[in-house]
């Protein structure tokens, strides 16, 4: 159980406005002048932090306890790379190995590349996958709690999905449907029945559905409006057509116009939609092109910032078009059900790894064992196996030996346990994002370097709060909460899931029993330029200690749920913070190429060069598990031939 030692000192705290102002003053003219675009400037603006126990905090139990969000070690290494303190030339490597293929990054993209390699590899070919965290999965990992003997698993980041359609031709299939079929993941998934003697409540099965227009009504959602007294709750406000909210009539009408707006524009092709919509933000689309009030764009921020990193003021209307956003799409059918494995998309990562190295997860090749079995770390990196996975290993330098056009191999230098190691590979896949690639890929062509400089990455925080019981939510008649964020508040939304049941893993669904309340928390500052928003967000995420977040979360829960009987000392069993410094590549207007005919930055990166290919979900625009694996698969097809030559 995490300590709640700070909770008694709830009389003093720094507000968010204090923080933003403080950071802005600290960063001085660069930030305020809006000129923070260059790498050096960005680097200078990210505050120096020395993460330690006070920063990282409690990690739960089980295999993932030492790896929740970015670890202090991975973060410190990355900052040393950025600041030029670590480079390949600093020390003589303590070991040298040769592989046909090296994949850098063990998230869904790297695992997608690895899966394709395993299927296509020729006899004798070898591959090493490096990741800088203590466990594979990237943003698709899980937390585990033990609350009074009850095992509870929750997502660290990526977590929800619709079951994709069946596949008739695997070769031409792509994305979610391809991998779901290929990995033979069950299509019948089990959830808990809500006890018949309890008053009716509706549950989301993931941590997103309750924010999606249309699907939201499948969940008992309470909207909390701060006021000078205790604040007021409006339950199921969209079902009630906002009649139960304290909003004035004009605001209500404006929100209802937005919420009810369907697919208002017909495009003859996706290309036509892209060329027009990628020239404006979703907010501009709503206000300028649709004549709507500002309220819809503000409400849309909740979902957009949770799935793309920032809000409607800087998200391309084309990205919104690809999501089910009002004015561009009709709402999804309420019959569509979101799903989430116990650890969210960690389930997919585990399926991929089981295919790559069958002994990596204890037990048989079946759903229950893959999802809930223990990881056999010793099996990951054994000599002689077709693919090895090496964790806690940070690539610091990647470059061709000689001219990329006719080079015969690539040198990779990585750090592990404070020592430098060298690898030689015939082909390399960078399944890592542009924020690190720009520093470690040393012989980038100019066009690639320029393109990488155009990506903007937003941070994210997933705080999982293990509860001994959730009577306070039951009393309120809700399973998800959204609040109108007021000065000094923490977060925007939280919910409990109806937990998936997997074999012997049978988490309860009863207000007297334990559960996990998840706060999916973006950092967005509407109205500021995108560069400033992502820098402020990272500063806020990285400079707040575990104890301060713990206090902010408990304080917020008291504000929301105190009147319904929430007691932190009795009800909270532990809090895990999962901090993602570069969670999302933000699809801003122009990300997809805008109106022009020049290739979009992502398409330049997709071309690769020499023996190096790039595959990461950031290239997709909307980061998604199947799309990430597809990027890795495409990158593999680009280096496959290079692996045959020497």
Binding-site ranges for ligand FAD (CB under 6 A): 74, 104-110, 130-133, 138-140, 157-160, 208, 345, 394-395, 431-432, 436, 440, 460, 462, 580, 583-584, 616-617, 623-625, 628
Tokens representing 546 are 């575990």
Compare residues 286 and 440 and give the one whose CB is closer to ligand FAD: 440
Beta bridge partners of 460: 522, 580
Residue 399 DSSP symbol: E
Q: Considering beta carbons, is residue 233 or 542 the nearer one to ligand FAD? A: 542
Contact 585, 457 (CB under 8 A): yes
Of the two residues 285 and 584, which places its CB atom closer to ligand FAD in the complex? 584
Measure the CA–CA gap between 256 and 253, rounded to whole angstroms. 5
Compute the least distance from the CB of residue 456 to ligand FAD, in Å: 15
Backbone φ and ψ for 54, nearest 5 degrees, come out as -65, -25
Cβ pair 459, 537 in contact under 8 A: yes
Tell me whether residue 159 or residue 218 sits nearer to ligand FAD (CB atom). 159
Min dist CB 135 to ligand FAD, Å, is 9
Q: Least distance (Å) from ligand FAD to the CB of residue 559?
A: 23
Looking only at the bridges linking them, the beta strands covering 515-522 and 410-416 are unpaired
Q: Which is nearer to ligand FAD, 139 or 142 (CB)?
A: 139
We find the least distance from the C-beta atom of residue 584 to ligand FAD, in angstroms, to be 6
| Closer of 432 and 545 to ligand FAD (Cβ) | 432
Find the distance separating the first CA and the last CA of the chain, reported in whole Å: 55
d(CA 532, CA 573) in angstroms, rounded, equals 36
Q: What is the DSSP letter of 327?
A: B
Helix or strand (DSSP H, E) at 459: strand 457-467
Looking from the CA of 579 toward its CB, the CA atoms found within 13 Å total 22
Nearer to ligand FAD by Cβ, of 540 and 571: the residue is: 540
> What's the closest the beta carbon of residue 624 comes to ligand FAD, in angstroms?
4
d(CA 238, CA 303): 15
Q: Which is nearer to ligand FAD, 125 or 578 (CB)?
A: 578
Tell me how far, at minimum, the Cβ of 547 lies from ligand FAD, in Å: 22
The answer for residues whose C-beta is within 8 angstroms of residue 346's C-beta and 6 or more apart is: 64, 137, 140, 141, 142, 155, 156
| Dihedral sign for Cα atoms in the order 556, 562, 563, 566 | positive
Least Cβ distance, residue 9 to ligand FAD (angstroms): 30
> Do residues 223 and 211 lie in contact, with contact meaning Cβ atoms separated by under 8 Å?
no
Task: Count CB-CB contacts under 10 A for residue 245.
Answer: 18
What is the smallest separation between the CB atom of 179 and ligand FAD, expressed in angstroms?
11
* Nearest CB to ligand FAD, comparing residues 109 and 280: 109
**Shortest Å, Cβ 460 to ligand FAD:** 4
Does residue 576 contact residue 463 with C-beta atoms inside 8 Å? yes
């Amino acid at each position: 159980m995490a300590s709640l030692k700070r909770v008694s000192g709830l009389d003093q705290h720094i507000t968010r406005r204090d923080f933003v102002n403080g950071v802005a003053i600290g960063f001085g003219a660069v930030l305020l002048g809006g000129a923070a675009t260059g790498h050096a400037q960005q680097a200078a603006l990210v505050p120096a932090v020395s993460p330690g126990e006070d920063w990282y905090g409690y990690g739960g139990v089980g295999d993932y306890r030492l790896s929740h969000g970015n670890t202090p070690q991975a973060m410190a290494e990355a900052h040393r790379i950025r600041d030029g303190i670590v480079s390949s030339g600093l020390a003589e490597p303590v070991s040298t190995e040769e592989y046909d293929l090296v994949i850098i990054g063990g998230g869904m993209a790297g695992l997608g590349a690895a899966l394709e390699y395993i299927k296509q590899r020729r006899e004798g070919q070898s591959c090493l996958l490096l990741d800088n965290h203590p466990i594979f999965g990237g943003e698709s990992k899980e937390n585990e709690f033990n609350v009074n003997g009850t095992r509870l698993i929750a997502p660290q980041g990526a977590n929800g999905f619709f079951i994709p359609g069946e596949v008739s031709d695997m070769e031409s299939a792509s994305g979610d449907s391809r991998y779901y079929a290929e990995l033979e993941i069950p299509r019948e998934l089990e959830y808990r029945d809500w006890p018949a003697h309890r008053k009716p409540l509706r549950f989301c099965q993931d941590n997103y559905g309750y924010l999606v227009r249309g699907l939201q009504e499948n969940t008992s959602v309470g909207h909390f409006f701060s006021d000078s007294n205790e604040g007021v709750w409006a339950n199921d406000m969209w079902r009630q057509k906002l009649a139960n909210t304290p909003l004035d009539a004009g605001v209500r009408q404006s929100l209802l116009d937005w919420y009810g707006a369907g697919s208002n524009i017909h495009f003859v092709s996706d290309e036509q939609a892209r060329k027009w919509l990628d020239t404006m933000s979703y907010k501009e689309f709503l206000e300028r092109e649709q004549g709507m009030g500002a309220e819809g764009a503000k409400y849309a921020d909740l979902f957009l910032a949770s799935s793309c990193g920032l809000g409607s003021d800087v998200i391309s209307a084309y990205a919104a078009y690809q999501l089910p956003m009002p004015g561009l799409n009709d709402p999804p059918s309420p019959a569509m059900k979101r799903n989430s494995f116990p650890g969210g998309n960690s389930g997919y990562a585990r399926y991929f790894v089981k295919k790559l190295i069958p002994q990596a997860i204890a037990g048989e090749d079946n759903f229950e064992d893959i999802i809930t079995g223990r990881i056999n770390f010793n099996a990951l990196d054994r000599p002689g196996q077709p693919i090895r996975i090496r964790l806690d290993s940070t690539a610091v330098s990647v470059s061709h030996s000689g001219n990329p056009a006719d080079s015969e191999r690539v040198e990779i230098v990585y750090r592990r346990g404070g020592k430098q190691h060298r690898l030689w590979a015939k082909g390399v896949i960078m399944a890592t994002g542009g924020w690190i690639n720009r520093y470690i890929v040393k012989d980038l062509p100019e066009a690639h370097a320029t393109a990488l400089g155009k990506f903007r990455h937003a941070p994210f925080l997933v705080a999982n709060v293990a509860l001994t019981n959730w009577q306070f939510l039951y009393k309120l008649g809700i399973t998800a909460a959204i609040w109108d964020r007021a000065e000094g508040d923490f977060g925007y939304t939280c919910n409990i899931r109806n937990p998936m049941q997997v074999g012997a893993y049978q988490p309860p669904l009863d207000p007297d029993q334990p559960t996990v309340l998840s706060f999916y928390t973006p950092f967005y500052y509407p109205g500021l330029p995108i560069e400033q928003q992502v820098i402020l967000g990272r500063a806020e995420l990285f400079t707040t200690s575990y104890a301060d977040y713990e206090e902010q979360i408990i304080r917020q829960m008291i504000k929301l749920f105190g009147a319904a009987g929430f007691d932190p000392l009795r009800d909270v069993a532990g809090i895990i913070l999962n901090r993602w410094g570069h969670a999302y590549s933000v699809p801003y207007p122009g990300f997809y190429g805008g109106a022009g005919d020049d290739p979009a930055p992502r398409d330049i990166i997709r071309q690769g060069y020499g023996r190096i290919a790039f595959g990461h979900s950031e290239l997709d625009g909307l980061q998604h598990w199947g799309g990430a694996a597809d990027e890795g698969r495409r990158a593999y097809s680009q280096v496959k031939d290079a692996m045959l030559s020497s």
